[in-house]
Structure 1
């Protein structure tokens, strides 16, 4: 009889996507969102929703850290990212979505847009999670 692992695992029951790199892009993205949701909960964040739609964009994860409302954009990469993770158009849509949410949600000190990238580390099956806080700013440049 196989021994059951007592460690907590993320929703979906796996620490890495089954099938590894052979998942479809949407399946890999959904796995990355579940994994990031799990990590943020471990850090004490309160997750309000996932795939939240606004008139301007779809937000991967909507969370609260302290008294700050945080829009989290999750990017899954099959290799270490070499370029800018968000286009100017994507960043602009996220900014407009953040303003729309801020106008409708009270009780928060502010709104922040974070970017979380999930990509393989140097050794398989270890995954690296890079969390960029306030990745999308008010100005035309992303960082």
Structure 2
């Protein structure tokens, strides 16, 4: 049951993150895109920029501080490498973003967090 609740929370967090990014002018071009190297929660474009977004949803805002680490970002970056030719045509800028979602909090957007 715990796993199902976490899955539901994650999907809800991704929906909130997608809504939030649309309000900031981004267009969703992919969601839950799987590759052999990992999964990207959201792929978004705005103008000539593309962002591969990792969404972290937690039941407590305090837990968001430990929700993301370098190994998770490496996985997203590796998946983004595979996906860039398909989704990033004509893009000049590519970035890895994180969006953190907790109940009763505005989503926190951390743009361009990966420089590895």
Deviating above 3 A after TM superposition, structure 1's stretches of 4 or more consecutive aligned residues are 81-84
In proportion to residue count, which structure has more helix? 2
TM-score by length of 2: 0.84
Q: Which residue does the alignment assign to 1:31? A: 12
How far residue 58 of structure 1 moved from its aligned partner, in angstroms, is 0.6
- 83, 93, 104: which is aligned to 1:101? 83
For the pair shown, the structure with the greater C-alpha radius of gyration is 1
What secondary structure is seen at the aligned counterpart in 1 of 2:107? strand
**Are residue 119 (structure 1) and residue 93 (structure 2) matched?**
no
The answer as to 2:24 corresponding to 1:43 is yes
Which runs of no fewer than 5 residues in structure 2 stay unpaired? none
- Find the residue that maps to 1:95 and give its secondary structure: helix
The aligned counterpart of 1:60 is: 41
SS in 1 for 2:60: coil
Contact kept in structure 1, 2:53 and 2:96, CA below 8 Å: yes
Q: Which has the higher contact order (CA 8 A, sep 6+)?
A: 2
Q: In structure 2, what is the equivalent of residue 13 of structure 1?
A: none
State the TM-score, normalized to the length of structure 1. 0.69
Which structure has more strand as a fraction of its residues?
2
